[in-house]
């Protein structure tokens, strides 16, 4: 009995030490969830994170413990690393960052605004004045200038409803790279865009982007000024919302909408898929829609009148398709031809059943005879 007690003593001491170390050690700081907050998060020009604006509380330390860490020099540019960071707010804006900010994603992250009506807001001077932006808005993630979102993690951004505009992600020059997975969803509004970019939107480095808009007079999964470029093995899916307004230059429902003096949709990625109630892809030069889109060599496209990938009834083609209101769905993907079946040489008598029967009839008796002869030799 005493021996058993002596054996148990080290075990108990080890357990006590383990429990003490566990309770004294800090918990994992990269698994935070901030829910039901009534404030937006602002990254200021001094590298600190605040509630609402510079006049709000400094919550840099609290957010670092929840998985949002800021790094950079004294005057920027800033890098905001999100590591399993989840933020939900009832404010009209989720997170605001200065132009030139890079967001690095690790793990699964989310930014959600549950705003129901939007509020009056004076947009920064860096945003173009055309088309005129509604003053009432809701944004999930907003950058006052260029914004880069890099992987390898994921980010889901959702904006709320608004009397004016709802934008999942809004920036002046948006780049998504590093294998990031980004999903942007906008709410019900007069203008609703999953992604709204004012100066050249680029997706590269095998990244995956999904953009979806809500019900609106003017909706698009992706709205890009001047250029939308998709390279590498990146995949982009964009879906417009429901619209009861007659489509025009700035009304209707579109999957992808590229607008500018010389708009450009450049594609050499893996998959590009767009769906809208009025048009899948709209490329406008001033007030004139461009009529054709050339599919790169080595790619195939589907075009359909319904908002779904045509299976069987759709057209599978390469080359050029016409951009007009006759289709609502378009999908372009890299075509990898299947390798042909190996060419195995065959004899001329493969179908001669009688010949093969005769050969087998001669082979089997010979084989049995050989076996019997060897047994006799052994005996």
Is there a domain that residue 365 lies in? no
Q: Which helix (H) or strand (E) holds 49?
A: strand 49-51
Is there a domain that residue 306 lies in? no
Is there a domain that residue 362 lies in? no
Handedness of CA 322, 327, 328, 329 (dihedral sign): negative
For residue 254, the tally of other CB atoms under 10 A from its CB is 30
Range(s) of the domain holding residue 229: 26-297
Q: What is the C-alpha separation between 293 and 287, in angstroms, rounded?
A: 17
The pLDDT value recorded for residue 129 is: 47
Using DSSP's 3-state secondary structure scheme, residue 360 falls into: helix
Number of compact structural domains in the chain: 1
For residue 240 the two structure tokens come to 């417009």
For residue 140 the two structure tokens come to 């999930």
Is there a domain that residue 285 lies in? yes
The pLDDT value recorded for residue 212 is: 98
Per-residue pLDDT tens for 321-378?
Answer: 888 777 889 888 887 665 555 665 555 555 555 655 655 556 556 655 666 656 666 6
Residue among 308, 314, 349 nearest 329 (CA): 308
Q: What is the C-alpha separation between 212 and 193, in angstroms, rounded?
A: 7
Is there a domain that residue 264 lies in? yes
The pLDDT value recorded for residue 8 is: 37
Residue among 215, 332, 315, 217 nearest 281 (CA): 332
Is there a domain that residue 307 lies in? no
Q: What is the mean pLDDT of the chain?
A: 81
Is there a domain that residue 346 lies in? no
Per-residue pLDDT tens for 138-193?
Answer: 999 999 999 999 999 999 999 999 988 999 999 999 999 999 999 999 999 999 99
Is there a domain that residue 363 lies in? no
């Amino acid at each position: 009995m005493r021996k058993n007690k002596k054996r148990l003593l080290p075990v108990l001491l080890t357990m006590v030490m383990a429990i003490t170390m566990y309770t004294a050690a800090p918990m994992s700081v990269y698994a935070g969830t901030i829910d039901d907050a009534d404030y937006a998060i602002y990254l200021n020009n001094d590298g600190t994170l605040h509630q609402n604006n510079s006049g709000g509380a400094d919550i840099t330390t609290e957010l670092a413990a929840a998985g949002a860490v800021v790094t950079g020099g004294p005057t920027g540019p800033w890098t905001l690393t999100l590591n399993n960071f989840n933020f939900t707010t009832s404010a009209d804006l989720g997170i605001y960052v200065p132009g030139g900010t890079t967001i690095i994603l690790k793990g699964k992250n989310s930014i959600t605004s549950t705003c129901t009506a939007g509020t009056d807001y004076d947009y920064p001077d860096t945003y173009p004045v055309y088309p005129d932006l509604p003053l009432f808005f809701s944004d999930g993630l907003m950058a006052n200038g260029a914004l880069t979102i890099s992987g390898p993690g994921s980010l889901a951004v959702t904006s709320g409803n608004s009397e004016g505009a709802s934008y999942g992600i809004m920036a002046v020059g948006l780049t998504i790279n590093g294998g990031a997975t980004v999903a942007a969803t906008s709410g019900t509004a007069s203008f609703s865009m999953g992604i709204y970019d004012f100066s050249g939107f680029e997706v590269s480095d095998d990244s995956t982007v999904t953009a979806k808009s809500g019900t609106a007079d003017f909706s698009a999964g992706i709205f890009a000024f001047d250029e939308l470029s998709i390279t590498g093995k990146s995949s982009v899916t964009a879906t417009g919302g429901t619209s009861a307004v007659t489509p025009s230059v700035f009304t209707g429902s579109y999957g992808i909408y590229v607008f500018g003096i010389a708009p450009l949709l450049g594609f050499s990625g893996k998959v590009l898929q767009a769906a809208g109630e009025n048009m899948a892809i709209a490329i406008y030069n001033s007030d004139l829609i461009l009529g054709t889109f050339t599919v790169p060599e080595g790619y195939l496209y589907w075009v359909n009148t319904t908002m779904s990938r045509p299976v069987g009834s759709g057209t599978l083609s390469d080359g050029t398709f016409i951009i007009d209101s006759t289709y609502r769905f378009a999908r372009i993907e890299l075509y990898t031809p299947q390798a042909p079946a190996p060419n195995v040489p065959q004899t001329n008598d493969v179908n001669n059943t009688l010949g093969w029967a005769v050969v087998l009839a001669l082979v089997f008796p010979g084989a049995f005879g050989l076996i019997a002869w060897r047994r006799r030799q052994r005996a």
